[in-house]
Amino acid sequence: MKASESYRNRIEFLQGTLDMLILQALQWGPMHGYGIAQSIRLKSSEILQVETGSLYPRSAPTRATELVKSKWRLTESKQRAKFYETTPKGKEQLASDHKRWQQMVQAIAAIMEPGKEQT
Amino acid sequence: MRLWPWSWERRKQELSEELQTHLRMTIEDHIARGETPDQAHAAATREMGNLPLVADTTRTYWGWETLERLVQTVRYTLRQLRRSPGFAITAVLGMALGIGPVVAIFSMIWATFLAPLPYPNASQLVVVWNHYKGERVPTSGEDYAQLAAQNRSFQSLSFQSWIVVHLTNPDHTADEEGGLPVTPGMQTKTVGQPLLLGRDFLPDEGSPGNEGVVILTNWLWQHRYNSDPNIIGKSILIEDHPYTVIGVMRAGPHEKGGGITFNVPIRFTPGEQSQQIGIMIGRLNPGVTLAQAQAELSTINDQIAAHHVAHLNKSPFALTVEHFRNDWLDLKTQRNLWLLLIAVGLVLLIACANIANLLLARGTSRTQELAVRSALGATRRQVFMQLFTESLTLALFGGIIGIAMGWVIMKLSLVLLPNLALESTDTMVQMNLPVLGFSILIALLAGLIAGCAPSWRSAHINQSDALKQGSRAAGRRGRTPLQSALVITEIALSLVLLAGAGMALHSFWNLSHIDVGFRTDHVLTALLRSRNNGPGSKSSSVSSPEEASVQQHQLLDRVRQIPGVADATGATGIPMNGFNTFPFQLAGQTADKAHMPTADFEAVTPSFFTTFAIRLVRGRFLGEEDQPQSPRVVMVNETFVRRYLANADALNQRLLLRIPDFRRAGAGPQQMPPPLEFQIVGVFHDVLDNEHLTGDVQPEMYVSEWQVGWPFFWIAVRTLGIEPEIITTTLQRTVSSVMPGAAIDHVRTMVQVMEQEQSSDRFEMILFGAFAAAALLLAVIGIYGVMSFAVAQRTHEIGVRMALGAQRTEVIRLIVGSGMRLSLLGLGIGLAGAVILGRLMHATLYGVQVTDLTSLTAVTALLFVAALLACWFPARRSATIDPIQALRNE
């Protein structure tokens, strides 16, 4: 019970942001779950470690079914894996999330580093 | 799609496959970085964390958890129930016993009050009832013609006659069917049912010379004419006159009421006299309310009355406009249905209390199991839901068996209904979708009521205590307050039901001991009717009065010769068939013309008194010596003497009666006959002439048929040594051989008449009794269960007591005492409820006080003894506990 709650908390913490990162990772084409996790990890220079426990609940079909669709395919190494792909709605969502995120970053920056803002 | 379990399974598999792929890829990556397979596997597993938990959390996000858990819980429940079949069967049967009666009564309530009528715009359909002194009476054809012509409220106002005409075949060998005259447009315009074949009556059909057409019901068309598709245009015989079939009705509840199988047309012209009586059925104009229609008709009705009798400005008849309903039960039975619904509701509550008790006991013995489950991570909500699902599952199974049981109870109780209703029961009362839906709903509701408290209590057990102390943890308390409350409730509710049954029984006892003034056994009565009294024919087969008298004598003589017949009589009226009010005057007194005293007046043959075994109080009976030439004589009943001759010697009095002389042919109806003197020669014990068993006896005057020469309509036969029904066909044949133009109708034994009168009360008594018996059974099982359980839980305590020197009797007294304290409390509360029920029931009972001490005492004693026994058996078992064994078991 405790463990499952801690997973949930982390997901709540990343609410919105993780969805955006996943959609961003899928921007360039279909990818399987492992690929999404690796992509986020590599692009963030290994700072963002997406845990399986956070990834699957987000990307799993029902909840995000409007944003991503999935299909079973063979990987380059001939393994069967589920590939995810953004839908047009997912692309819209990414654009609006991105914009909101930029506003948020600017707002936080304005509070945290007031000097910089004025220059 | 994803609501289906197999779809869940597939997705769950996909998820786990996906996670496995993920794991494999991670391992491959690690190996690619130069780790050994073991190291790679360990690292990957570490990175990914608890895989089943990930899968679990993911599924939670899918939102399936609740449903999935429900399916799981139901499966678990079924497994649990299979493992304790004793509990399951007791609970399911207990529930079924509670639900069955509800289903049965509800199916009748539905059919009677709630089912929508199968007619277009049924809310516009109304019945116009005529009332005289609070009783529903028929309307005359004349009045109908006025009302139909003058009203503005109705699209169509139709008239259905009460005078039955008969379908015969040329040699009178086949069964006769009854039909009713109706005004044109009744079926298609007023009721709104298109015909299956042919056409409705035309507006001028039904007027003299234009009446030989007939519309058949679907039933008659199928059964008598084998659904002949070419029936239209064929000729059939009605009252020995040819009628042309012009239409066939559609099948349905509208077609056959009271055994009527066809319609012939009838038509009235305003202002013309008519012998017809019947009821009015109408279709209101859109937007017209019942009250508006009633007000309009009442105004017209008052005008008609004023036109007839100059000094009247208000009609003594009151018209009411009522919604067309499934009026297939008499008002009393309808009221009884509601009472019975209360009764079955109480039975259901008792059944719920019983299940709750069972669940509580089971919950207590399962304390440990539940504690383990919650220690393993089940939340309170989950434990609660699991127990709750259990009770709902039980209720559902109970409901299904209950529906089957309800169907049986329904069929059995329909047999008890009054005869009149019997013909239409099959089409009326059915286990249809609404009834089934309601039953399932009630079952679930019962499960909810029964399951709520026990589940909540079990879910709130202190788990560490429970685990520490083992299965006896909760048992230390013996009986819980909740169980006590349930036992008290059961006893109280049972007492209410038993009191109801007791009162119904008491009332029925009173009813079957009413002194009707004659012997009801071995008497067959029949109405004598002329075959050709159809519309348009007024001819009589007998020409002179002397001839008629000879024929009457001949008929009675021939009937007396039928083997097994002890006596036979002819009369204008028979007991329990209604009375008339005939004015008279005491000789030597001046008459107040406006307020003449009245009494029931009948002409009977002298054998009337022996046939019905009527008791003589004073003087003599009418005899064969009272002939047309001898002095005219009359007999009166005790009520007559009490009311009119209280201060005089009845046998010295003479009555002046103006008797229309039917022997004088051509006597106009308007001509006032001269008063004739009749000497009172005897007083007989009151005979119930009222058609209602509980109605008052009227003052009666009986004169000799042979002196007044009225045509009699009724014949009654007393048989000796054989059941009177047996001679029906012989009687029929005798009548048609002596009077070729006559037939008998309404053939009933007096016992049947009595049963018919009591049927509504019998219905109430038997059903109430059966439901009360079910309640008693449930309550006794309930007390017994709780007491046995308490004894089982207190084995240790009892062992200690006995080890310390307690006597067996003391132990028994202890257990019985604790059970009886609850029972007495329940009895007290129940008595209050019984008094309230008595008030509700009072109107349907006969000769029973509002608070009926006789039945209250009896049922309280009965329940007390039952409760005592239910406590005594577990107590006796407790007294056989071996102290050493009891202590060692701990």
Q: Answer yes or no: are the C-beta atoms of B714 and B527 closer than 8 Å.
A: yes
Residues B665-712: tens digit of each pLDDT: 444 455 678 888 999 999 999 999 888 888 889 999 999 989 888 877
**How far does the CA of residue B39 sit from the closest CA of chain A (Å)?**
19
Strand partners, B277: B140
How many domains are there within chain B?
Answer: 4
Q: Which stretches of B366-480 are DSSP H helices?
A: 367-375, 380-415, 419-422, 425-428, 433-459, 463-469
Coil, strand or helix: which one is B534?
A: coil
Coil, strand or helix: which one is B246?
A: strand
**How far does the CA of residue A7 sit from the closest CA of chain B (Å)?**
8
Mean pLDDT of B241-247: 91
Residues B260, B176 within the same domain: yes
d(CA B803, CA B212): 98
Q: Answer yes or no: are the C-beta atoms of B141 and B278 closer than 8 Å.
A: yes
Mutation target vs B (from A10, A34, A40; most B CBs, 10 A cutoff): A34
Report which of B66, B284, B274 is spatially closest to residue B192, judged by C-alpha positions: B284
Q: How many CB atoms lie within 10 A of CB B273?
A: 11
pLDDT above 90: residue B640 = yes
User: For position A2, what pLDDT does the model report?
Assistant: 46
Residues B615, B712 within the same domain: yes
pLDDT above 50: residue A11 = no
Give the pLDDT band (50/70/90) at residue B5.
low
pLDDT above 60: residue B660 = yes
Burial class (CB in 10 A: 0-12, 13-18, 19+), B253: middle
Coil, strand or helix: which one is A80?
A: strand
Tell me the helix, strand and coil percentages in chain B, rounded to 5.
55, 15, 30
Q: Answer yes or no: are the C-beta atoms of B799 and B887 closer than 8 Å.
A: yes
Judged by CB atoms closer than 8 Å, whether chains meet at B57 and A52 is answered as no
Residues B498-539: tens digit of each pLDDT: 999 999 999 999 988 999 999 999 999 998 877 654 444 444
Residue B247, in any domain of the structure:
yes
Q: Answer yes or no: are the C-beta atoms of B183 and B191 closer than 8 Å.
A: no
Mutation target vs A (from B29, B59, B61; most A CBs, 10 A cutoff): B61
Residues B309, B371 within the same domain: no
Residues B379, B497 within the same domain: yes
Residues B161, B18 within the same domain: no
d(CA B460, CA B455): 9
Residues B311, B351 within the same domain: no
Pick from A52, A62, A79: which is nearest to B24 by CB? A79
Coil, strand or helix: which one is B634?
A: strand
Give the pLDDT band (50/70/90) at residue A104.
confident
Mean pLDDT of B125-141: 84
Pick from B47, B48, B62: which is nearest to A62 by CB? B62
pLDDT above 80: residue B279 = yes
Most confident of B6-10, B566-570, B738-742, B798-802: B566-570
Judged by CB atoms closer than 8 Å, whether chains meet at B53 and A3 is answered as yes
Q: Answer yes or no: are the C-beta atoms of B383 and B458 closer than 8 Å.
A: yes
- CA neighbours within 13 Å on the CB side: how many for A114? 1
Tell me, yes or no, if B57 comes closer than 8 A to chain A by beta carbon: yes
Residue B624, in any domain of the structure:
yes
d(CA B743, CA B737): 10
User: For position B16, what pLDDT does the model report?
Assistant: 80
Residues B809, B701 within the same domain: no
Q: Answer yes or no: are the C-beta atoms of B466 and B797 closer than 8 Å.
A: no
- DSSP letters along B702-715, please? EEEHHHH-PPP-EE
- DSSP letters along B636-672, please? EEHHHHHHH-TTS-GGG-EEEEE---TTSTT--TTSP
* Chain B neighbors of A57, CB-CB under 8 A: 57-58, 60-61
* Chain A neighbors of B376, CB-CB under 8 A: none
pLDDT above 80: residue B174 = no
Contacts 24+ apart (CB under 8 A), B345-348: B345/B102, B346/B493, B346/B496, B346/B497, B346/B771, B346/B775, B347/B97, B347/B98, B347/B101, B347/B102, B347/B497, B347/B771, B347/B774, B347/B775, B347/B778, B348/B98, B348/B99, B348/B101, B348/B102, B348/B442, B348/B446
Residue B459, in any domain of the structure:
yes
Report which of B208, B211, B258 is spatially closest to residue B238, judged by C-alpha positions: B211
Q: Which residue has the tokens 């008629």?
A: B548
Secondary structure of B249-313 in the HEC alphabet?
CCCCCCCCCCCEEEEEECCCCCCCCCCCEEEEEEEECCCCCHHHHHHHHHHHHHHHHHHHCCCCC
- Please enumerate in sequence order all residues whose Cβ is within 8 A of that of A48, keeping only pairs 6 or more positions apart, or say none: A21, A40, A41
Give the pLDDT band (50/70/90) at residue B165.
confident
Residue B300, in any domain of the structure:
yes
Q: β-strand B633-637 against B585-586: which pairing, if any?
A: unpaired
User: For position B665, what pLDDT does the model report?
Assistant: 47
Judged by CB atoms closer than 8 Å, whether chains meet at A34 and B26 is answered as yes
Residues B463-511: tens digit of each pLDDT: 666 666 554 444 444 557 888 888 899 999 999 999 999 999 999 999 8
Residues B557, B502 within the same domain: no
Residue B789, in any domain of the structure:
yes
Mean pLDDT of B785-810: 82
Strand partners, B684: B616, B637
Report which of B506, B552, B485 is spatially closest to residue B845, judged by C-alpha positions: B506
Higher pLDDT, B157 or B581: B157
Identify the domain containing residue A32 by its residue range: 2-118
User: For position B534, what pLDDT does the model report?
Assistant: 45
Q: Answer yes or no: are the C-beta atoms of B86 and B318 closer than 8 Å.
A: no
Residues B404-449: tens digit of each pLDDT: 999 999 888 888 776 555 555 666 677 888 899 999 999 989 888 8
Burial class (CB in 10 A: 0-12, 13-18, 19+), B686: buried
- CATH number of the domain that residue A101 is part of: 1.10.10.10
Residue B521, in any domain of the structure:
no
Q: Annotate B821-832 with b (16+ C-beta within 10 A) or e (fewer).
A: ebbebbbebbbe
Residue B748, in any domain of the structure:
no
Mean pLDDT of B574-592: 85
Q: What is the Rg, in whole angstroms, of the alpha carbon atoms belonging to chain B?
A: 38
* Chain A neighbors of B21, CB-CB under 8 A: 32-34, 79-82
Pick from B19, B21, B53: which is nearest to A79 by CB? B21
Q: β-strand B241-248 against B213-216: which pairing, if any?
A: parallel
d(CA B92, CA B182): 53
- DSSP letters along A90-109, please? HHHHHHHHHHHHHHHHHHHH
Residue B105, in any domain of the structure:
no
Secondary structure of B400-425 in the HEC alphabet?
HHHHHHHHHHHHHHHHCCCHHHHCCH
Q: β-strand B177-182 against B260-265: which pairing, if any?
A: parallel
pLDDT above 90: residue B381 = no
Mean pLDDT of B861-875: 91
Tell me, yes or no, if B373 comes closer than 8 A to chain A by beta carbon: no
Residues B319, B423 within the same domain: no
User: For position B539, what pLDDT does the model report?
Assistant: 44
**How far does the CA of residue B63 sit from the closest CA of chain A (Å)?**
8
Residues B296, B335 within the same domain: no
Residues B317, B338 within the same domain: no
Chain B residue with Cα closest to A1: B377
Residue type, B253: P
Lowest mean pLDDT across B642-646, B655-659, B689-693: B689-693
pLDDT above 50: residue A61 = no
**How far does the CA of residue A111 sit from the closest CA of chain B (Å)?**
35
Q: Which residue has the tokens 């009948």?
A: B602
Identify the domain containing residue B710 by its residue range: 542-740
Give pTM, 2 decimals: 0.71
How many domains are there within chain A?
Answer: 1
Residue B452 corresponds to which tokens in the numbers above? 């709520």
Among the candidates B295, B323, B351, a domain finishes at B323
Residues B474, B555 within the same domain: no
